[in-house]
Chain A
Amino acid sequence: MKTKKTPLGSEGALFALYGELDAFTGPPLREELGEAVEQGARFLVLDMSQVEYMDSVGLGIIVGAVKRTREQQGNLAVVGPQANVLRVFEVSGTKDLLNVVRTLEEAKGRLKGLQIDDVEGQ
């Protein structure tokens, strides 16, 4: 799995994810998201539009990241998953709790407290 990280204001980060998210590819992502929160990104947006596969391991990693952001009074949102990935969120009952939405604008709306007015192009 490849990732591309972009700052989202001073306290947030947008991660674009590419490829498959399973027990092989997941652990490095878990580390990366954990480090981002440790470094002050208490609001995370995961762009999953380019994720071709996810199972319960990926789900667990996202749940872990949500918990870490909420410990810092932040939150996380998931943007634009493909139909097969969206189905895993829906069947597991996590779609609303993990703020799974269609667009980046909707994600920003879910992340109360995220200040991004000073960031160009966002």
Chain B
Amino acid sequence: MSSLERDTVEMRIPCEPRFLSVVRLAVSGAAARAGLGISEVDDLKVATSEACTNVIEHAYPEGSAACGPIGIRMVVREGELRVEVEDQGVGFDPKRLPKVEPEERVMEEGGLGIYLMHNLMDEVKIESAPGSGTKVVLVKRAAR
């Protein structure tokens, strides 16, 4: 077993909002194991929950019955947690994501999830293509 495998926690949740709190609990535990502080753990809970909520709300437009499981992979390193959230949904072209400015969206009732992810994490990467599912990579490091 490689060191990467030894430090990796994987889980799959049903594509349903009632399991979001389960993911947050798991991320909290992994982040604490990585040595992150309370505010960093809180940021990870929000960013991961946003990524999972996006899967539930957007990845399977034909309805929840078609919604496959959401894969969550957490790579624990000293002072850093990397979280990958993956689905096999419809995917999209990341270049076509609207650039979100809070001053433009602030009084809309949605659309701030990706903005929050970018502003709470040290790194965010969105890998997707139409018909090929989506993987969101979130990285949070301990403050120095």
**Which A residues contact B (CB, under 8 angstroms)?**
20, 22-24, 53, 55-57, 59-61, 63-64, 66-67, 83-84, 87-88, 91-94, 97
Contacts and interface: CB of A to CB of B under 8 A. Distances in A.
Main secondary structure of the interface of B (DSSP, over half): helix
Which 4 pairs across A and B sit closest by C-beta, in order of nearness?
A24-B17, A93-B102, A84-B42, A23-B17
Contacts of A92: 102, 106, 112, 115-116
A23 B53 contact: yes
Interface residues of B, number: 30
Given A87-B42, A91-B119, A92-B116, A57 B106 contact: no
Nearest to B42: A84
A88 B104 CA distance: 17
A20 B28 CA distance: 15
B132 interface: no
A88 B110 CA distance: 14
B70 interface: no
Contacts of A24: 16-18, 20-21
Contacts of B20: 22-24
A87 B39 contact: yes
A56 B50 contact: yes
Interface in B1-24: 16-18, 20-21, 24
Nearest to A84: B42
B56 interface: yes
B53 to A, nearest CB: 5
A63 B102 CA distance: 13
Contact of B108 (A20, A53, A63, A84): A63
B106 A63 contact: yes
A60 B21 contact: no
Which of B24, B107, B120 has its CB near the most chain A CB atoms (within 10 A)?
A: B107
Contacts of A63: 106-109
Contacts of A97: 106-107
B107 A23 contact: no
Given A87-B42, A88-B46, 11 more contacts: A24-B21, A53-B46, A55-B46, A55-B113, A59-B112, A60-B108, A60-B110, A60-B112, A63-B106, A91-B116, A91-B119
B39 to A, nearest CB: 7
